[in-house]
Structure 1
Amino acid sequence: MKHKPYPRHPFFDLLREFIRDGYSKTLLHPATARQPCSLLLEHGFDFEGQDGDGMYSSSICLRHQRRVLDAEIKIYTRNGLAMGNGLAFAQGLRLDKIAHTLQHDPELGGCRLELLFDATGENGALLINEGIVLQFHAADRAGAGNHYIRTIESDFFFDESTRQKRIATYSARLLHGYSLPQLLRDKTAARRCRKLSVLFGSSASGEQR
């Protein structure tokens, strides 16, 4: 990446934007839904794609409590116009702590949270209100009990036909077909997911409302 064009926005403020609006208006700037995104190249973004269809990306630093997080902005385009955006993290955030904060946040406490996993419990997705997806992975050390957020993805696109496909949610359900209660039947997976089971253990379906 060429440089980091944004100041260190608080992570949770950006997550609130995704949950509330389906995308982050803060991270979409200087792109808009009406102006060609080619100007992003002048702001340090790289482009992958062809004929205006693809993704612009750029490095960014975020704040979370006392930590500085290296991340990557992703702005998806069609015909050269912005369709939506997302985030990817070089260093993940603890999923159990973010889920706990969501559950107790005055604005977001009513969100519907659903956990999905692969067969090992190492990788999965947290679905928020059936529209925002936090992809996550387990710590390298088996049994550590920590999962870390890798990406923020969204079903939202400015284009209605694309939005109706619910791409982020569909992909998460396709890749991760196991609920938390199913994983807890396996001792290794149960040890790996023990911190999440404390947060979501009262729900038989792995959901928290």
Structure 2
Amino acid sequence: MTQSTQPQLHPRGAAEMLDALVASEGTGAHPHVRAGALSSGPDAMRNLADAVHFLCLLHGRYPGVIDNAARKAVDPASRQWMDEAATAFTQERAFLSKIASAVGPVPSTQGQAQCEAAVAAQRKAIDMLSESDRHGCAVGAAIALTLDWRTIRVLLDISAQRLDMTPPTCALPDLRDTARLAGTVADTPAVERAMMFGAQQLIAQHNGLWDLMAARAASRASS
């Protein structure tokens, strides 16, 4: 008998790999977040305010990652998930904008214009991911955003509570439906690779944002 040369899907499965990626490299794993710079200490509120404003620059405009990816979703499984995610993220954008308005101006930090330019470049990079014609790339980025947003949402909720605001319920698709979508879409090795590429690049942009927030916090602390 001859061995099959047909490419094989990763034995761990797309959903498990996405979960592992977000757990090991996502917002919750970043040193700036893990150190409590946004949740405790005398500078936490200022650091949170900074993060909220820059998250607005990255994800506060329409269309966003999920909206762009939704336009490319043609199969029924993707369509339903994308519609639910896009509707929910509209609410998340509104919540983000409301916090940004309530929290006040961006904390004065050296190199403001360069920082805004850097995040604008990140925004362009994630737009390209979500508009990619490579099958699987856009949905991978969209899934990674919804998974990583769960941690970001915790930070937004902290901001809201300190501003005496009541956070709305997050309506993003649940983990079971998201895992099911990942498994359904990643039906060939090529699509699985594209999905993981989109997810990895989205998470990399989030890491870049938190690197920037850490550098800005350090700059304010030393001035």
The question of a shared fold, defined as TM-score above 0.5 by the shorter chain, is answered with: no
TM-score w.r.t. the length of structure 2 is 0.27
Q: Give TM-score scaled by structure 1 length.
A: 0.28
Q: Based on CA coordinates, which of the two structures has the bigger radius of gyration?
A: 2
Which structure has more relative contact order (CA 8 Å, sep 6+)? It is 2
Query: Quick check: which one's helix share is greater?
Result: 2
